[in-house]
Amino acid sequence: MRSTLQFGRFNFPWRGERVRARVMGILNVTPDSFSDGGQHQSLEFAISHAEQMILDGVDIIDVGGESSRPGAPPLPLEQELQRVMPVLYALRDIGPAISVDTYKPEVMREAIIAGVDMINDINGFRAPGAIAAVRDSDCGLCIMHMQNDPRHMQLAPSYTDVVAEVTAFLRERIEALTAAGIDPRRLCIDPGFGFGKTVEHNYALLKATAQLIAELDVPLLAGLSRKSMVGAVTGKPVEQRMAGSVGGALAAVAQGALIVRVHDVAETVDALKVWQAGTNLQR
């Protein structure tokens, strides 16, 4: 029975007694995430943000150059490389595992050369060349479900049975990756909250966390930090969704999620520590 996620320099047990939920901190290197642009300034900002996340107890730093907010236009390859690569090289040996949030095979290849531990693909490695780009590395692969593309995904999300359809999609992608010779221990899955889903779809999927893990036999990453599904339940705008996001992370972990992808690392780490100390629940 597979029970360890093996990715790059790291191994995370995800089933059995030694399991500890892990925190992936979001590091956006989009121009709107710092004041007035400039390559040097953005690198300094990224490094100091990463250093703070390390103090806060982060396990994985997820570096992303392209905004995948609903309606966002795609970012040209050269710009994505210019934003992301200096940050990946700067952070590679800083301590925690390093992940890159990209769906472009060219960025995947460069990131692997830079030594990242995980490729986090919102497109589930569906781009032509994506599987070939990651196959011969040892990095982890996060397979996310998305209906449609970021520009169109929230226009009219539609499913007959969202849990069944997301499960079938993820199963097909796991099969495509393993058929290419990729070790299944490198894989994790993600239902893709907010990516072509209504609030009802998102909560149906969150409630199905344990079922997804059981059916697909792969560890699960949940990313709902500050998303509209949190706003829908709390009635809070994005800048007031921290506590709601921590609540959602705990809901996912309580149902067996291994990794939670968050903006608020310190608060999530504290919540998980107390959660872990106060429960005998086992995966």
List contacts with ligand 7PJ (CB under 6 A): 26, 68, 101, 120, 122, 142, 144, 190, 192-193, 221, 223, 227, 261
Nearer to ligand 7PJ, 223 or 248 (CB): 223
- What's the min distance (Å) between Cβ of 180 and ligand 7PJ? 20
Nearer to ligand 7PJ, 137 or 154 (CB): 154
Going by C-beta distance under 8 Å and a sequence separation of 6 or more, which residues neighbour residue 208? 163, 167, 191
Nearer to ligand 7PJ, 238 or 274 (CB): 238
Nearer to ligand 7PJ, 120 or 198 (CB): 120
Q: Using CA of residue 142, residue 147, residue 152, residue 153, what is the dihedral sign?
A: negative
Nearer to ligand 7PJ, 86 or 124 (CB): 124
Distance CA 42, CA 25 (A): 17
- What's the min distance (Å) between Cβ of 40 and ligand 7PJ? 25
Q: Tokens 């780490």, residue?
A: 269
- What's the min distance (Å) between Cβ of 69 and ligand 7PJ? 7
Q: Tokens 């990756």, residue?
A: 177
Residue facing ligand 7PJ at closest CB distance? 223
- What's the min distance (Å) between Cβ of 190 and ligand 7PJ? 4
How many CB atoms are closer than 10 A to CB 79? 12
Tell which residue, 186, 89, 85, 188, has the closest CA to residue 138: 186
The token duo for 92 is 């590679």
Distances (CA, A) of 95 to 43, 90, 187, 192: 17, 11, 22, 27
How many CB atoms are closer than 10 A to CB 224? 26
- Are 102 and 119 a contacting pair, CB within 8 Å? yes
Which are the catalytic amino acids? 227, 261
Helix (H, G, I), strand (E, B) or coil at 143: strand
- What's the min distance (Å) between Cβ of 205 and ligand 7PJ? 11
Strands 4-7, 10-13: pairing kind: antiparallel
